[in-house]
């Protein structure tokens, strides 16, 4: 009996938290369908009076979203691919190789985790200017080719693979990069996938950097398109902003729902052993 009560209390608590998370999402969806004068009502309206489908058409027209979708996809995928390549190599060296200064390098990586973009953006900006890469895809991708977070996360995962397995692999002449490719990465698949998703979402959502380094509309990304609905002094069209937010967030939401268990695993791993 007490067990059943405990269960009930647990479910109630979980439902309450779920409602807390889901309500803003629900509000986003219904606001996207509301007419402009229905956005603010003295009592909140949980269902729109009529479904304003044309909000989506108007929102799509509001900025060059087709082009932005393409750019965001290219940029986010390029960054994630490069980060996976550099992070797994660095993590391999840090986890499985002994060399002078390994601890110092590891500490530097951990230190880099806590430096915000506001500190580095000017230095990166000027470097890109010297390379002549401003206002190009390079500017959007190059500063993010390495990831301290990814390196650290993968190092922890690689450490969990037993030494004995490497010895066994060595007998079969599977060493170095071959061991990384055939053993470490497949065995760390949950971590690799989780990191991929986190990196994908982070760079899909990035607003500040693309705005600073790009001037041409042809290479700008989705968050800049969204920002165009937020006004300075004049009114914002909240319903259009919500409609645009919905289709900009949709790909990430779909990927998240399909792969959410890996997300959860990544947060558990960040707690760390080793």
Partner 1 sequence: MNIRHVLCGLLAATALACGSPAGAAEPVHLSFWYPVDLGGGLAKVIDGLVADFDKAHPDIQVTPTYTGSYDTTLQKIQAAKMAGTLPDVAVTEISSVPVLGALGAARPLDALIAGEGGKKFLDKFWPSMLLNCVYDGKVYGIPFQRSTPVMYYNKDAFKAAGLDPDKPPLTWDELVADAEKLTKRDGDRVTQWGLELPLEAFNWFYYALVYSNGGQSLSPDGTKALWDQPPELAALGFWHDLVNKYKVTPAYTPWNDGPQEFAAGKVAMIWHSTGSQAFMRQNVKFAWGLGRIPKHAQFGPPSGGGNLMLYATDPARQKAAWSFIVWLSDAKQAARWSIASGYLATNVASWDLPEMKALVKEHPEVLVTKAQLADAKAEPASAKYAPARDILNALIKDVLANKAQLEPAVKEAVANANAAMAKQ
Least distance between partner 1 and beta carbon 245 (Å): 13
- What backbone phi and psi angles, to 5 degrees, belong to 272? 70, 135
Q: Tell me if 259 contacts partner 1 by CB under 8 A.
A: no
Q: Tell me if 30 contacts partner 1 by CB under 8 A.
A: no
Q: Tell me if 212 contacts partner 1 by CB under 8 A.
A: yes
Cβ burial, residue 88 (10 Å; 0-12/13-18/19+): buried
Q: For the stretch 162-180, what's the b/e string if a residue is b when 16 or more beta carbons lie within 10 angstroms of its beta carbon? A: eeeeeeebeeeebeeeebb
Q: Looking at beta carbons only, is 122 or 177 nearer to partner 1?
A: 122
Residues numbered 91 to 130 that lie near partner 1 (CB under 8 A) are 121-122, 125-126, 128-129
Least distance between partner 1 and beta carbon 188 (Å): 38
The DSSP string of 220-239 is --HHHHHHTTS-SSSPP-HH
- What backbone phi and psi angles, to 5 degrees, belong to 85? -65, -50
- Give dist(CA 194, CA 208) in Å, integer: 24
Q: Tell me if 247 contacts partner 1 by CB under 8 A.
A: no
Least distance between partner 1 and beta carbon 35 (Å): 10
Cβ burial, residue 258 (10 Å; 0-12/13-18/19+): exposed
Residues numbered 56 to 85 that lie near partner 1 (CB under 8 A) are 58, 61-63
Q: Is 134 helix (H, G, I), strand (E, B) or coil?
A: coil
- The stretch near partner 1 (CB under 8 A) out of 37-45, 73-81, 94-102, 248-256 is 37-45
- The stretch near partner 1 (CB under 8 A) out of 21-29, 40-48, 108-116, 172-180 is 40-48
C-alpha dihedral (164, 165, 168, 173), degrees to nearest 10: -130
Work out which of 215, 218, 267, 272 binds partner 1, going by CB under 8 A. 215
Q: Tell me if 41 contacts partner 1 by CB under 8 A.
A: yes
What residue ranges bind partner 1 (CB under 8 A)?
A: 36-37, 39-42, 58, 61-63, 121-122, 125-126, 128-129, 134, 208, 211-212, 215-217, 224, 227-238, 240
């Amino acid at each position: 009996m007490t067990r059943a009560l405990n269960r009930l209390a647990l479910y109630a608590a979980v439902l309450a938290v779920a409602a807390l998370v889901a309500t803003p999402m629900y509000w986003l969806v219904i606001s996207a369908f509301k007419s402009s004068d229905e956005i603010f009502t003295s009592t909140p309206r949980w269902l729109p009076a009529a479904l304003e489908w044309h909000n989506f058409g108007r929102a799509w027209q509001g900025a060059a979203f087709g082009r932005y979708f393409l750019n965001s996809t290219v940029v986010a995928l390029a960054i994630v691919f490069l980060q996976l390549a550099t992070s797994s190599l660095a993590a391999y060296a840090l986890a499985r190789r002994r060399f002078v200064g390994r601890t110092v390098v590891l500490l530097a990586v951990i230190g880099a985790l806590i430096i915000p973009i506001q500190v580095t953006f000017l230095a990166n900006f000027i470097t890109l200017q010297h390379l002549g890469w401003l206002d190009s895809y390079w500017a959007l991708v190059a500063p993010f080719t390495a990831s301290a977070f990814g390196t650290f996360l993968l190092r922890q995962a690689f450490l969990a693979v037993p030494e004995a397995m490497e010895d066994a692999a060595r007998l079969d002449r599977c060493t170095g990069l071959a061991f990384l490719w055939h053993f470490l990465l497949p065995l760390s698949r949950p971590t690799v996938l989780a990191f991929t998703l986190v990196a994908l979402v982070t760079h899909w959502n990035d607003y500040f950097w693309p705005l600073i380094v790009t001037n041409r509309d042809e290479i700008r990304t989705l968050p800049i398109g969204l920002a165009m609905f937020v006004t300075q002094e004049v009114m914002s069209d909240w319903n259009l902003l919500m409609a645009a937010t919905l289709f900009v967030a949709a790909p990430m939401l779909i990927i998240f729902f399909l792969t959410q268990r890996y997300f959860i695993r990544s947060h558990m791993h960040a707690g760390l052993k080793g």
